[in-house]
Structure 1
Amino acid sequence: MFLFKKNKDLLEQYTKYLELCAETLDIFRKAIAYSFENGLNEHFEVLAGKVHAMESDADDIRRQIERTMYEQSLLPESREDLLDIIERIDMVPNCADHLATLMTLQRTPINPALKSEIMELLDLAIESFKYTKEAAVDCFLKMEKVKGLKILIDNNESLGDKLEHKMIRTVFAENTGTGEKIIQKDMINQVGEICNLCEHVMDRIVICSIKRQL
């Protein structure tokens, strides 16, 4: 019933994967904070490169987990559930990597007027992933925390939506060109998407935990 009870190696790989995803978000936050203070200079590109490298390392571990699951005699349903959750989680560091790379290529910083709200939204996103990470393990162990963590993530996603809407209104109230406004809106949405993705992962975790209790 509990996937990791007799699969310690798999649990170790899974935990390492989740930690690396969380670390990717932490570096991404540092990169965004740095860009507000210093612009998109060479050091920002170094930080963006670290985000990309960590996201790539997480992909490598994800593939290793997939190999481990097929090498071990896991129930097909358990394997399917874990693979699905990992694939959804993988979208979170991908989202951070995409925006960091986009900012490097486009040489367009996030509007300085949005600094406070963007950093608040990033903090919500990182907190949401912390809850997601905890639930992603608990789902295959004791299943004691999933329900409470789901509520916390839903609350963060709602707060994140409000911040996104506030920032988009700010952007479109400014005297800038339509193209610049759209670029800024897209970057705001990309940051907010991290919270949305955490909610989507959590929805799948809830379904998985319900199945395991039947």
Structure 2
Amino acid sequence: MKLSPFGQTRALTSQIDEFLDQVSESGLVLAQAYERYVEQGVDDSSEQRLQQLIDLEARADQLRRSIQTTMYSEMLIPESRGDVLGLLHELDDLVDRFKASFLTITIEKPEIPVELREDFKSLVESMGQAVDHTVRAARAYFRNYREVRDLVHKVSYFESESDRIAIRLRKAIFASKLPIERKRELREGVLRIERMANAAEDVGDRLTICAIKRSL
């Protein structure tokens, strides 16, 4: 039994690998950008990271469209085409979320109080791990779908960690003596990061279904 849905379509496999590279790098850049922002606020490096995210998102979108065109024009893997294209679309949306999230940071420039910084960094770390394992699970789907389940389990673990840290942060924010406007601003920052972990888990759920269908 073939474990990859593509057989000998090496050019397409190469494009998908490059696409997943863009998603993976976007997650790494975002985590680095957030970590520095939490410590230093918005500075010149923030704009550089944002531009990296913009470039990575543009390349990922270009690759997704190229893969879609190739799959339809060459009538490749019709039995799995819908699953593959749906999965790539969700991953592309994830990269777009990364860009939009950090763009908001560079515009609004919210300052993180010192006493909340460690938890913010922990939240970013958990989100980054959820994204990283989502990309690993996606690679597994295209190479050996039997590995998907274990990797998606790790995605769920880190998403749950993100939820736990986010709840702790929101409690700390609203227990503080900060003005209500600042509390709401910080809460939105927490939710923004938490939603990216949730989105990664959504992709993981889709991967689980796709892998089950491949096994039938």
Instruction: Note the 1:3-152 alignment, pairs <5 A.
Output: 3-152=5-154
Residues 98-117 of structure 1: per-residue CA shift (max 9 Å, x gap): 12100111122344433212
Aligned to 2:198: 196
Q: Does the 8 A contact of 2:20 with 2:139 survive in 1? A: no
Distance 1:113 1:64 in 2: 47
Structure 2 unaligned segments of length 5 or more: list them: none
Shift of 1:17: 0.9
Amino acid at match of 1:200: D
TM-score by length of 1: 0.91
Q: Does the 8 A contact of 2:39 with 2:117 survive in 1? A: no
After superposing the two structures, state which structure 1 stretch, 23-32 or 162-171, moved more: 23-32
Distance 1:43 1:130 in 2: 23
- Partner SS, residue 76 of structure 1: coil
Q: Percent of aligned pairs with the same residue?
A: 25
Q: Which portions of structure 1, spanning 4 or more consecutive aligned residues, are displaced by more than 4 angstroms?
A: none
Aligned to 1:153: 155
Root mean square deviation of aligned Cα: 1.8
**Is the alpha carbon distance of 1:41 and 1:141 closer, same or farther for their aligned partners in structure 2, counting shifts above 3 Å?**
closer
**Is the alpha carbon distance of 1:112 and 1:28 closer, same or farther for their aligned partners in structure 2, counting shifts above 3 Å?**
farther
Q: Does the 8 A contact of 2:34 with 2:124 survive in 1? A: no
- Partner SS, residue 6 of structure 2: coil
Aligned pair count reads 214
**Is the alpha carbon distance of 1:138 and 1:42 closer, same or farther for their aligned partners in structure 2, counting shifts above 3 Å?**
closer
Distance 1:5 1:109 in 2: 51
- Partner SS, residue 170 of structure 1: helix
**Is the alpha carbon distance of 1:98 and 1:109 closer, same or farther for their aligned partners in structure 2, counting shifts above 3 Å?**
farther
Structure 1 unaligned segments of length 5 or more: list them: none
Distance 2:188 2:213 in 1: 37
Q: Does the 8 A contact of 1:124 with 1:156 survive in 2? A: yes
Q: Does the 8 A contact of 1:135 with 1:145 survive in 2? A: yes
TM-score by length of 2: 0.91
Q: Does the 8 A contact of 1:95 with 1:193 survive in 2? A: no
Aligned to 2:172: 170
Q: Does the 8 A contact of 2:29 with 2:53 survive in 1? A: yes
Distance 2:113 2:68 in 1: 40
Residues 4-46 of structure 1: per-residue CA shift (max 9 Å, x gap): 2221111111111111111112111222222233221233222
- Partner SS, residue 144 of structure 1: helix
Distance 1:195 1:77 in 2: 30
After superposing the two structures, state which structure 1 stretch, 20-29 or 156-165, moved more: 20-29
Distance 2:15 2:161 in 1: 32
Q: Does the 8 A contact of 2:41 with 2:109 survive in 1? A: no
**Is the alpha carbon distance of 1:77 and 1:113 closer, same or farther for their aligned partners in structure 2, counting shifts above 3 Å?**
farther
